[in-house]
Amino acid sequence: MEIGQVSTVSIIGQDEDMASHISTDPNDKFPEVFATSRMVAMMELAAAKMMKPMLKEGELSVGVGVNIIHLAATPNHTEVTAKATYQGKEGKLFKFTVTCHDPGGIVGKGEHTRAIIEFDRLVASAKKRVDPKRFIYHFVKPDYLQAQEGKEEYYPADYEQEGFIHCCTKDQWEHVRTSYYVGVPEIKVLKLDSNKLKSTLKYEGKTEEKFPHIYGGINKEAIVEILTITQ
């Protein structure tokens, strides 16, 4: 692409493009004018259209950033045109200025950035991010946890003996509490993001139910929250 290159996308606004059709709550009331979200989508489409010839097999472009101002209202059943103008590349980001017009003039303007990614990698990453097994939990007594403050990695007291760190999923939480911490007045629970763990994570067990085990220490970045259980 060359700096200054232009791409456009036009539609005739329909009912589903109006702000009045965005909400699913029947008690909400929005005007029957072209929705800001739909305008932004058109601006993205104009920029994506320009980048299509650059894409290799298995690649697509995705929106990364938008900084948009909606300046004027457009009534239903009116033609709207979004225009993207290429401004150059900054690192991995492709930068565009974007505008939107209807027969009355400009209705929106701003800036937009896009990046090229691998389709399969994006989908896999998205699924992993919302995987219910992403977060796992480790139970520890408050005194021991306090003694570990300031250390680069957390290891439980029985790590040398066990060879791994015992954890559980949210569904296994109650089993762990009632099996190993009955009578303990206060328990600290480390909520861990398994995507951020540097050590190896395995799901293991002698029965059908498998528990998460961490082979190595827990790095600080993986601890997203410290919860407290009082009994």
Q: Where are the domains of the chain?
A: 6-127, 131-230
Q: Check pLDDT > 80 for residue 58.
A: yes
pLDDT reported for residue 127: 81
Confidence label for 155 from pLDDT (cuts 50, 70 and 90): very high
Distance CA 139, CA 141 (A): 7
DSSP per-residue string spanning 33-66: BB-HHHHHHHHHHHHHHHHGGGPPTTEEEEEEEE
Predicted confidence band at 220 (pLDDT cuts at 50, 70, 90)? very high
pLDDT in tens, 6-16: 999 999 999 99
Q: State pLDDT tens for residues 133-151.
A: 789 999 999 999 999 988 9
pLDDT at 86 over 80: yes
CB-based contact 50:5 (threshold 8 Å): yes
Residue 15 neighbours by CB under 8 Å, 6+ apart: 21, 76
Q: The domain 6-127 is classified under which CATH number: 1.10.3720.10, 1.10.8.60, 3.10.129.10, 3.30.9.10?
A: 3.10.129.10
The confidence score (pLDDT) of residue 157 equals 92
Span 76-91, average pLDDT: 97
Question: How confident is the model at residue 231, as a pLDDT?
Answer: 82
What's the pLDDT at 206? 82
Positive or negative CA dihedral for 179, 182, 184, 186? Answer: positive
Sheet containing 135-140: which strands, arranged edge to edge?
135-140, 186-193, 223-230
Best CA proximity match to 136, nearest among 60, 39, 218: 218
**pLDDT of 130 over the 80 cut:** no
pLDDT of residue 217: 96
What integer pLDDT is reported at residue 27 of this predicted model?
A: 87
Q: Predicted confidence band at 115 (pLDDT cuts at 50, 70, 90)?
A: very high
What's the pLDDT score for residue 80?
98
* CATH architecture of the domain with range 131-230: Alpha-Beta Barrel (3.20)
Task: Note the pLDDT of residue 150.
Answer: 87
The reported pLDDT for the residue numbered 133 is 77
The most distant pair of C-alpha atoms in the chain lies apart, rounded to whole Å, by 75
> What is the chain's mean pLDDT, rounded?
94
The proportion of the chain whose per-residue pLDDT surpasses 90, expressed as a percent, equals: 84
Q: Which of 121, 100, 128, 117 has its CA nearest to residue 44? A: 100
Task: Please enumerate, as own/partner, the contacts of 178-181 that have beta carbons within 8 Å and a separation of 24 or more.
Answer: 180/139, 181/139, 181/229, 181/231
Does this model's pTM top 0.75?
A: no
Gyration radius (Cα) of the chain, Å = 26
